[in-house]
Chain A
Amino acid sequence: MLAQRDSFGETIVDLCDLDPRVVLLDGDLANSTKSDKLASARPDRFFMMGIAEQNLVGVAAGMASVGLKPWVASFAAFIATRDLDQIRVVVAQPKLNVRFAAHYSGILTGYTGRTHQVVNDIAIMRSLPNMVVVAPCDAVEARAAMFALNDYEGPVYLRLTRDPAGVVTAADHRFELGHALLLREGSDIGLISTGGQTLRVLDAAETLERDNISAMVLHVPTIKPLDVDAVVAAAAATRCILTCEEHSVFGGLGGAVAEVLCERQPTRMQRLGLRDVDGESGPNDALIEKYGLSSAHVVKAAKELWSSL
């Protein structure tokens, strides 16, 4: 079990060692985002900006404009909604090299309640021109993504999760921006998922196999630009598609996949995610259960879809 945020804290230090232009801007959350590792290891690269998230984004834009490679570390909820105008005007439109580390994404935010949960950040970020959106499934993929993104020119929204979870990514994995990963072959139903939800989907696929439904798992760590060919191929190789995400069913991965399939490969599909509701406080397993994201829910949704064909 590894937490994406711990991986973030370690990797940002490594990136700073690797690249003299990498810096991190903190909005007084360094002990939550684990950027505190950088604050002690490389204080020259760590900029505390106070509890002032709109300014945080603008300062990063200014740094990027003079040649630095700033990471903005905050919570997904604040980045995606409170800072949206700043991101649109001074980062996305001018295509500046700012990376947003959107911590505490989804609803597993450690007993915060809905003020600290944004259920539509993927929808918001992927609809911004020039913005790249990445949601790794585990701590190892998060680290690999950070190294890959360091070589990318332009704004990036990296969606990270808080709590320790399983790891399916190989230690030597090389992250390729814009590439979906076929984690499991299957011919009946295609399960397409992103972020931490992919781990629950992999469990579900095994259960489905035991029940004689062959489930493919396509993990989509880059939601934008979407690996359109991989999505179309998944639909072509199976009989129906179920998208799964710890996010609203509006405009996230499910929306992106539906857009592609409508145009390229009309396919019977279903979206699993939060259905026009916000989250709440609670232990992770209870939240996952109540909001319909557990592997049992994935299995149930897959079977319903399969039997409706």
Chain B
Amino acid sequence: MTVDELQRLGNDIRRHVLRAVHHAGAGHIGGVFSAADMLAALYFSELRIDPQRPHLESRDRFILSKGHCGIGLYAVLAMRGYFPVDELFTFDAIDSRLQGHPDMTKLPGLDMSTGSLGQGLSPGVGMALGARFLHSDFQTWVMIGDGETQEGQIWEAAFTAARYQLANLTAILDWNHLQQFGWPTSQGYAGVARRDPTESPAQKWRAFGWNVIECDGHDVADFRRACDRARRTLDRPTLILARTIKGKGISFMENDYTWHSRPISDEDLAAALGELDRADEPQRTRVERS
């Protein structure tokens, strides 16, 4: 799959998410949009998976530790063929397999239940240790939020992963600088632009013994290079430090913490879908020409 095609799939995730959240009446958007391009690249190019055999023991494992972005994961799973795309409209409905946060007992393709922040990296350590124990060569990938790294358990997991030299474990840090409410700036809590205090995650993760690779989380080619380098690192776990923008792709959502989670009006939905279509226009023509 070409980089342009993957890039477009990222926007398809955004489209599905906008429609599903609009339909459900509420949902997380900002942190899904910062992760969307990476989710597309992971599920359509990097992960060794087979949607027809979601329980295959040798499959790569993916944990969305920032489980509040589950709708983004559901969208890419549906696009990849794990379940019908129409089912995305059952998001958050009663009896749905698409719970507000990922529930591995309900939907095939989910490798861990998440939603209580700070918890996802530890099962990733367990899976990576399990792979080694079982002499299996699958890779374990865990996506974490930057706000989430304020949780102490992340650092417990970081320490043990390095101690066991889990080279088959890769964490992806969605470094979008925003969280749910956030920290004050020099203007206090006024305005919608906040910055998290995570000034130098690279230094911190290196100090914990991880191999750190920085990349642009919205540049699929750059992200894929980072994944490739992570796979080729054989002595340590890798952190892909992905520079991202919360709400990426929609002008009125970007870098605005209030779009972390909220209902979307009919007008905003139309405007957002319009922006995505215009963004894809030149790419689509390029893809068609090639």
Contacts and interface: CB of A to CB of B under 8 A. Distances in A.
Contacts of A60: 126
Nearest to A89: B116
B122 A63 contact: no
A94 B129 contact: no
A65 interface: yes
A55 B57 contact: no
A88 B130 CA distance: 21
B124 A68 contact: no
Interface residues of A, number: 30
Contacts of B124: 62
B122 A93 contact: no
Given A52-B156, A55-B157, A65-B127, 5 more contacts: A54-B156, A62-B128, A63-B127, A88-B116, A93-B113
Given A49-B160, A66-B134, A85-B116, A54 B125 contact: no
A55 B153 contact: yes
A52 B208 CA distance: 15
A49 B116 CA distance: 21
A59 B122 contact: yes
A68 B133 contact: yes
A23 interface: yes
11 contacts: A52-B153, A52-B156, A55-B122, A58-B126, A59-B125, A63-B127, A66-B126, A66-B130, A66-B131, A67-B130, A95-B105
B160 A61 contact: no
Interface in A90-104: 90, 93-95
B103 A66 contact: no
Interface string B127-160: 1111101101000100000000000110011011
B156 A65 contact: no
Contacts of A94: 103-105, 112-113
B53 interface: no
A250 interface: no
A57 interface: yes
B153 A58 contact: yes
Please list the 7 inter-chain residue pairs (A to B) with the smallest Cβ-Cβ separation, ordered nearest first.
A62-B126, A58-B122, A62-B123, A55-B156, A52-B156, A66-B130, A59-B126
Contacts of A54: 118-119, 122, 152-153, 156
B284 interface: no
B126 A65 contact: yes
A58 B125 contact: yes
A60 B157 CA distance: 12
B108 interface: no
A207 interface: no
Interface residues on B, range: 35 or more
A266 to B, nearest CB: 37
B159 A63 contact: no
B111 A65 contact: yes
Contact of B127 (A49, A66, A93, A95): A66
A50 interface: yes
- Point out which of B119, B152, B159 has the most chain A C-beta atoms below 10 A from its C-beta: B119
A68 B163 CA distance: 21
Contacts of A67: 57, 130, 134
Interface in A152-187: none
Interface in A22-77: 23, 44, 47, 49-50, 52, 54-68, 70
B115 interface: yes
Contacts of A66: 57, 61, 126-127, 130-131, 134, 136
B123 A61 contact: yes
B287 to A, nearest CB: 38
- Point out which of B57, B126, B129 has the most chain A C-beta atoms below 10 A from its C-beta: B126
A150 interface: no
B119 A90 contact: yes
Contacts of B153: 52, 54-55, 58, 86
Contact of B113 (A49, A52, A57, A90): A90
Contacts of A68: 130, 133-134
A49 B133 CA distance: 15
Nearest to B127: A62
A62 B125 CA distance: 7
A203 B126 CA distance: 45
A117 to B, nearest CB: 24
A12 to B, nearest CB: 16
A86 B114 CA distance: 10
Given A54-B152, A58-B157, A93-B105, A63 B126 contact: yes
Given A59-B123, A65-B112, A66-B61, A93 B131 contact: no
Contact of B123 (A49, A52, A58): A58
B182 to A, nearest CB: 23
Given A59-B129, A89-B113, A93-B103, A50 B57 contact: no
Interface in A226-251: none
Nearest to A61: B123
A86 B153 CA distance: 10
B113 to A, nearest CB: 5
Interface string A133-157: 0000000000000000000000000
Contacts of A55: 122, 125, 153, 156-157, 160
Contacts of A59: 122-123, 125-126, 129, 157, 160
